[in-house]
């Protein structure tokens, strides 16, 4: 595999990371969690990440309590190297910053945060406070779905008519209750939801009539 194919394989292995570390008012994904999520696959594929600082800036200001706050800004270059073919490299510029009170840890913080966010963005790794199952459900719901087929339209109309006859209503009244304005423009997810709803309604009517 070339270097791009290898990076794609790494991306496939980590679709999601749950926020487990806790700060003062929020949860976040820790640096060690992010790095460990890709480390094994990077080693397996022979990908090496090299970090280079190309520029830096230190700004010191007093906060409202009179304490000096030091912000270190770094301009970085991350270089991916294919260990099997060292001539294959990808250089990506990046920016990072680290805030520190004492001053001596600013560079380390900037490098740590920079590497973490670079990995997250490089491999499009999603982070979310929801559990993985809930997150996966969100992904499925966000995927574009196909519009209903002619057969599905017919199936929905048949079931809607059955319920309409049981209730002594018109078919249009049933579609209105389902909030369907144009039956042929609904997608597959909506079709399945409407069919389930009609099953529930029909079952209730038939049960009540016994």
Residue 24: predicted pLDDT: 39
DSSP string, the chain: --HHHHHHHHHHH-SEEE--EE-SS-EE--HHHHHHHHHHHHHHHTEEEEEEEEEEEEEEEE-TTS-EEEEEEEEEEEEEEETTSTT-EEEEEEEEEEEESSSTTHHHHHHHHHHHHHHHHHTT-EEESS-HHHHHHHHHHHS--PBPPHHHHHHHHHHHHHHHHHHT--HHHHHHHTT-S-GGG-BHHHHHHHHHHHHHHHHHHHHHT-
Domain boundary, last residue among 69, 100, 133: 133
Does pLDDT of 27 surpass 70?
A: no
Residue 143 lies in a domain: no
pLDDT at position 181, please? 87
Mean pLDDT value across the chain? 84
pLDDT of residue 32: 79
Q: How many domains does the chain have?
A: 2
Is 139 among the domain residues? no
| Position 145 in a domain | no
Other Cβ atoms within 10 Å of 186 Cβ, number: 21
Residues 10 and 83: beta-carbon distance below 8 Å: no
% pLDDT > 90, the chain: 48
Mark whether 64 and 161 lie in a shared domain.
no
What pLDDT shows up at residue 25?
A: 40
> pLDDT tens digits for 141-168?
555 567 788 899 999 999 999 999 988 8
- Residue 201 shares a structural domain with residue 159: yes
Name the least confident of 3-17, 58-72, 117-131, 159-173.
Answer: 117-131
Residue 124 and residue 157 in one domain: no
Res 23: pLDDT: 45
Residues 120 and 41 in one domain: yes
Q: Are residues 116 and 158 in the same domain?
A: no
Residue 23 lies in a domain: yes
141 occurs within a structural domain: no
Same structural domain, 191 and 154: yes
Mean pLDDT of 91-116: 89
Residue 31 lies in a domain: yes
Lowest mean pLDDT of 76-90, 100-114, 164-178, name the range.
100-114
The residue-averaged pLDDT of 131-142 equals 53
* pLDDT for residue 20: 54
**Residue of 40, 21, 43, 39 whose CA lies nearest to 30:** 21
Mean pLDDT, residues 92-107 taken together: 87
Domain with residue 71: its CATH number is 3.30.390
Q: Which residue has the higher pLDDT, 14 or 97?
A: 97
184 or 53: which carries more pLDDT confidence? Answer: 53
182 in the same domain as 90: no
The answer to whether the predicted template modeling score (pTM) of the entire model surpasses 0.85 is no
Two tokens, residue 128: 């979310």
Which residues constitute the domain of residue 22? 3-133
For residues 18 and 110, state if they share a domain: yes
């Amino acid at each position: 595999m070339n270097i791009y194919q290898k990076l794609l394989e790494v991306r496939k292995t980590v679709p999601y990371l749950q926020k487990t570390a806790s700060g003062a008012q929020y949860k976040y994904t820790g640096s060690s969690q992010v790095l460990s999520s890709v480390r094994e696959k990077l080693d397996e594929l022979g990908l090496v990440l090299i970090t280079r600082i190309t520029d830096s800036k230190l700004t010191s200001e007093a906060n409202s309590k009179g304490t000096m706050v030091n912000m270190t800004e770094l301009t970085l270059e991350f270089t991916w190297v294919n260990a099997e073919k060292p001539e294959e490299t990808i250089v990506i510029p990046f920016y990072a910053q680290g805030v520190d009170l004492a001053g001596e840890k600013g560079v380390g913080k900037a490098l740590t945060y920079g590497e973490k966010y670079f990995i997250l963005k490089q491999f499009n790794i999603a982070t979310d406070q929801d559990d993985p199952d809930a997150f996966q459900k969100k992904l499925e719901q966000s995927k574009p779905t196909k519009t209903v087929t002619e057969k599905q339209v017919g199936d929905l109309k048949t079931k809607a008519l059955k319920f309409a006859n049981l209730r002594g209503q018109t078919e249009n009244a049933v579609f209105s209750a389902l909030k369907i304005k144009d039956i042929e423009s609904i997608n597959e997810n909506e079709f399945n939801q409407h069919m389930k709803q009609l099953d529930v309604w029909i079952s209730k009517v038939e049960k009540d009539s016994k």
